[in-house]
Amino acid sequence: MKTIDDINFKNKKALIRVDFNVPLDDEFKVTDTNRIEAAKPTIIKVLEDGGSAILMSHLGRPKGQRNPDFSLRHIVDKVSEIIGVQVKFVDDCVGESVEKAATELKSGEVLMLENLRFHAGEEKGDKDFAEQLSRLGDIYVNDAFGTAHRAHASTTIVAQFFPEHKCFGYLLAKEIEAIEKVMRTGEKPVLAILGGAKVSSKITIIENILDKVNHLIIGGGMTYTFVKAQGGQVGDSICEDDKMDLALDILKQAKEKGVEVHIPVDVVAANDFSNDAEIKVLPVDEIPDGWQGLDAGPETLKQFKEVILKSKTILWNGPIGVFEMENFAKGTIALGNYIDEATKNGAFSLVGGGDSVAAVKQFGFENKVSYVSTGGGAMLESLEGKTLPGIAAIIE
């Protein structure tokens, strides 16, 4: 795996694909700087070598149209502040004015291009558009894990024009290593915790990881499909009746492969999907009509804790309750605390996938786990065993 550490950028221009698709408020101020901070080490390495950096990214979904609301101009000051260098900006990403700005860039300087998605060629993976981008730099660096599952011009196609001069940035390399640890090289026992609402969205992940894990915790809304499939009563809990056969098949496969599956035994149930609802702790398979399970119960958490603390490699994908409501967040918070404890005891813990990352940030576990993935869709596709086009393009 060729990374940025294998290259000296002295007097070279690094064309770096970053993921600066960051949230902005009504005044176009950045409200979450994580992705910018994550790209900083790669940019600094290029500058400290004596090179210059040309940053390209998308922002939002302008659908091939110039829309000032999605201009990367809004984030230039914040990027400058975080990396400690005044970033230059050019109001397009291809064309004569851009090539001139790139040519004039001196060692130690940083140039940010305008939103790639102002051009339809970006999302279409257009080769001519990618070739125009390639003219701007000497070395191509992909550091955008969040878009590595898209075969877009700037994430995949452009790499063709740098056959000998392309590499992963630090962030993308760390993402690949973290997933490798869970899927291949991690110390056993390996535990996967899969939460979230639907079995259907996790089928391919479950099927792919059954060969790699020793324990599988199933939580969140998925629980009730598994419980009902085994003859339990789940009341009004979220349940995919058409996936019950699949749930039974997953349990059968797990048994054949020697994987221990852990499903909640009790739940915090409510008589309405509301933080103000009446609450009861009930056995998971005895939820009456009019009630729905919204969080893991105390006995379940005791059992989950035991599994987590004996695991050496932990993947956490998806919350185990409706953590957005305070009364149903306790299970997810407890899980975070157990993973924190396991990590302190030497386990490797990877958190990935939109909702679990949101929970980790909300409850302050970001620095208590080994690694928090920056890519939702890309992370899930990696766990499904797919080779991401943005990664393949560098390795080829």
Q: pLDDT tens across 346-367, in order?
A: 999 999 876 888 889 899 998 9
With b for 16 or more beta-carbon neighbours within 10 A and e for fewer, the 226-253 pattern comes to bbbbeebbbbbbbbbeebbebbeebbee
The lowest-confidence range among 47-56, 191-200, 232-241 is 191-200
Question: For residue 180, what is the DSSP state?
Answer: H
Cα three-residue angle 333-337-343, rounded to 5 degrees: 140
Place of tokens 């997810």: 332
CB atoms within 10 A of CB 315: 31
Q: Contact at 8 Å (CB) between 342 and 334? A: no
Nearest to 285 by CA among 217, 214, 229: 229
Nearest to 332 by CA among 312, 370, 306, 358: 358
What mean pLDDT comes out for the span 172-177? 92
Question: For residue 262, what is the DSSP state?
Answer: E
Q: pLDDT tens, 85-120?
A: 999 999 999 999 999 999 999 999 999 999 999 999
- Would you say residue 379 has pLDDT above 90? no
Catalytic, 198? Answer yes
The pLDDT score that the predictor gives to residue 98 is 98
Length of the chain: 396
Q: Which residue of the set 13, 17, 35, 243 is catalytic?
A: 35
The pLDDT score that the predictor gives to residue 343 is 97
Strand partners, 113: 90
**Structure-token pair, residue 223:** 């629980």
Cα three-residue angle 267-344-143, rounded to 5 degrees: 95
Q: How many helices (H) and strands (E) does the chain have?
A: 14, 17
The pLDDT score that the predictor gives to residue 358 is 85
Cα 31 to Cα 26, 75, 148, 243, 355: the distances in Å are: 10, 11, 23, 39, 18
- Would you say residue 374 has pLDDT above 80? no
Binding residues for ATP: 202, 293, 324, 353-356
Helices 76-83, 34-49: crossing angle, 10 deg rounding: 60
The pLDDT score that the predictor gives to residue 354 is 63
Binding residues for substrate: 19-21, 35, 58-61, 117, 150
- Would you say residue 383 has pLDDT above 90? no
The alpha carbon of residue 291 and the mean position of all alpha carbons in its chain are separated, in whole angstroms, by 33
Q: Which residue of the set 127, 198, 361, 386 is catalytic?
A: 198
The pLDDT score that the predictor gives to residue 250 is 95
Cα three-residue angle 78-80-85, rounded to 5 degrees: 165
Q: Contact at 8 Å (CB) between 69 and 60? A: yes
Catalytic, 35? Answer yes
Binding residues: 19-21, 35, 58-61, 117, 150, 202, 293, 324, 353-356
Binding residues for (2R)-3-phosphoglycerate: 35, 117, 150
Catalytic, 258? Answer no
The pLDDT score that the predictor gives to residue 308 is 98
Alpha-carbon gap, residue 54 to 51, rounded angstroms: 10
Task: Name all domains of the chain by residue range, CATH numbers in brackets.
Answer: 4-168 (3.40.50.1260), 175-383 (3.40.50.1260)
Cα 262 to Cα 38, 225, 254: the distances in Å are: 34, 14, 11
Helices 354-362, 330-344: crossing angle, 10 deg rounding: 80
Peptide bond connecting 189 to the previous residue in cis, omega within 30 degrees of 0: yes
Q: Contact at 8 Å (CB) between 155 and 144? A: yes
H helix runs in 135-285, sequence order:
170-180, 203-209, 222-229, 244-257
Q: Which residue of the set 64, 108, 377, 385 is catalytic?
A: 377
Place of tokens 């994908």: 317
The lowest-confidence range among 139-148, 201-210, 241-250, 287-296 is 201-210
CB atoms within 10 A of CB 306: 12
Alpha-carbon gap, residue 161 to 138, rounded angstroms: 10
Nearest to 193 by CA among 296, 244, 262, 255: 262
Catalytic, 17? Answer no
